[in-house]
Structure 1
Amino acid sequence: MTPPERYAFGASVRPLLVPKSDPCGRYADDGFWLALRTPQGPASLHLAREAGDLIATGHGPGARWAVDRADAIAGLRDDVSGFPVLAARHPLVHRLARTFSGVRLPATGLLFPRLLRAILEQKVTGKEAHRSYRAICRHFGEPAPGPAGLVLPPDPAAVAAAAYWEFHPFGVEQRRTQALLRAALVADRLERCADAAEATARMTALPGIGPWTAAETVRFAYGDSDAVSVGDFHIPNTVAYALAGEARGTDERMLELLEPFRGHRGRVCDLFALGGITAPKFGPRMPLRSFSRF
């Protein structure tokens, strides 16, 4: 595959991994590895830069599916052609769009692994959620094909068959666990959704899954550049501060300010994160907890 000019490989694929250590993938000197449960069976995908090109190699029964999907996973199907005109409507967005013009939005085509992560990230700190995610993946995961030593993402059927209290040692309380179990029961139906809109409708019909969780899922499962994480603790403040100089903002104000960028509203939020743009902080950090000790 031949990436576009200034393509930022690492910045494009790293959001598919939990920070610091992900049992199901890694980004290192040898390139990017990702373990997948594809419709054709388990697989590992390896992406590496070579003389300006991007080389995809698949391992396992689902290797063909993984390689056929490699360009989307690398973000090369992300259509940014109409974004520069929209970005020019605000000087900060215009500057960030130019600075990070090589970053592309990946689309795995697989919904449940990202939904699992999004549910775990509900109403807790990132460190808590990622700690739980690693523990669950190691508990339910099976060895992935290939030489990378990864584990496959949890099988939805195995998750659905577990009792909610089995997730307590992983630091997940009953509310999030029940949302996860409901999603696992209908994972096959969710994976068959034709697009982000259908997936969002089906996910938000499940108790315990709202617009924030759905947006966090479809952004990377479908490469939905317009998905806005309504209900986030930080993003409304960031958007209000970045676009209007207001230290605090509501979801309604955030959506009002993002409306001129419709079609790429989620991309604008991602640019603020890439650029380190944050609203002023006035309170203490949320404490780290462990539900496994409750």
Structure 2
Amino acid sequence: MPDEAVEAVVDLGFRADLRRSLALLRRGSADPTMRVLPDGTTWRTSRMESGPVTYALRQVGPDRISCSAWGPGAAELVTGIPDLLGARDDPDGFVPRHPLLVDAFRRFPGLRPPRTGRVVEALVPAIIEQKVVGLDAFAGWRRLLLQYGTPAPGPAPAGMRVVPTTEGWQAIASWDWHLAGIDPRRARTAMGCLQVANSLERLGRDPDPSVLYRGLRSLPGVGVWTAAEVGARALGDADAVSIGDYHLPKVVGVPLTGSPLPEDRVEEFLEPWRPHRWRVVRLLELSPLATAPRRGPRMSRVDHRRI
């Protein structure tokens, strides 16, 4: 028998876009921690402080979310749904400054950065995604989760897994990182971060995001890009911009200026939109009017299992 569900309908008090806001948490279409069904139900797993949880969310109104949750972390998860969907974000202060952003902001009024509150859960996959093609990173994430993750509580869709505990991540053999296509540098970075996992989670509870960012960037192998990837998901930081991302000069530059930006000018260009730089980038990614042309050099794929 599956665990008894914790059921709730949450009145958020603000307009939400469940599907687009939580899409940021999905690591590829085959991510074992997340499923989006044709009826719009979003299934996801997490490892809360109180334990693992599976939850199913449905949008039942512009500002209402229906939730069913299973597992030891269910009550904690339900309590945190407003934060998960962006309660700490303040989009009212956003000034689009460009007609394309004005249009995108109107099209996606409920878009907010998610706040999971789970730092390590966001950090490990971000490390796996450092300087590699997304498809390869997603495949490595999936392989490790299927091998080392734990079964999802409750009646989750087949194949769903919960991320390992810190001890579970630390138990992964170097050979298994290798078989997942994750080179020794990224594996060492992940293992080093896991040694201070409790401290990172504590820093993530500080209301000032810069506290966690300083802590993350003090760790070997973790830079501005990785810290921002964590901040956008674990902290719900609407100013988290992944400076150094391979695609960012094109994603920002082509729709707003007509051509890709020089890589060293991206941060300066986005400065007028602070503290909403994440929002600018995400709106451009979603806007049907802002698609960058699919041409030009692409990052080469590297099979680290052969190295």
TM-score (norm 1): 0.91
Residues 47-90 of structure 1 deviation map (CA, whole Å, 9 limit, x = unaligned): 1233663112221111111111112223344321211xx11x22
* 2:65 paired residue among 54, 62, 66: 54
Distance 2:68 2:165 in 1: 23
Contact 2:148-2:172 within 8 A present in 1 as well: no
Gaps (5+ residues) in structure 1? none
Aligned to 2:33: 24
For residue 35 of structure 1, give the secondary structure of its aligned residue in structure 2: strand
Displacement, 1:2? 3.2
Contact 1:238-1:279 within 8 A present in 2 as well: yes
Contact 1:226-1:265 within 8 A present in 2 as well: yes
When residues 67 and 284 of structure 1 are mapped into structure 2, their CA distance, relative to the original with a 3 A threshold, is same
Distance 2:247 2:185 in 1: 22
Aligned to 1:95: 103
Displacement, 1:263? 0.7
TM-score (norm 2): 0.87
Equivalent runs, 1:1-294 vs 2, <5 Å:
1-2=10-11, 7-28=16-37, 29=39, 31-50=41-60, 53-83=64-94, 86-87=95-96, 89-149=97-157, 150-193=160-203, 194=206, 195-251=208-264, 253-275=265-287, 277-280=290-293, 283-294=296-307
Contact 1:157-1:185 within 8 A present in 2 as well: no
Paired positions, count: 290
Distance 1:186 1:72 in 2: 25
Calculate percent identity across the aligned residue pairs.
Answer: 38
Q: Single out whichever of 136-145 and 125-134 deviates more from structure 2.
A: 136-145
> Which one-letter code corresponds to 1:20 in the other structure?
S
Aligned to 2:3: none
Gaps (5+ residues) in structure 2? 1-9
> Which one-letter code corresponds to 2:304 in the other structure?
F
Residues 258-289 of structure 1 deviation map (CA, whole Å, 9 limit, x = unaligned): 11111101110111111253545653433433
Displacement, 1:219? 0.4
Distance 1:106 1:137 in 2: 22
Which one scores higher on RCO, CA 8 angstroms, separation ≥ 6?
Answer: 2
Distance 2:162 2:30 in 1: 14
Distance 1:281 1:41 in 2: 43
> Which one-letter code corresponds to 1:162 in the other structure?
I
Distance 1:161 1:18 in 2: 22
Contact 1:237-1:250 within 8 A present in 2 as well: no
For residue 132 of structure 2, give the secondary structure of its aligned residue in structure 1: coil
Distance 1:11 1:55 in 2: 16
Distance 1:237 1:20 in 2: 23
Distance 1:209 1:51 in 2: 40
Distance 2:247 2:218 in 1: 25
What is the CA RMSD across the aligned residues, in angstroms?
2.0
Displacement, 1:93? 1.6
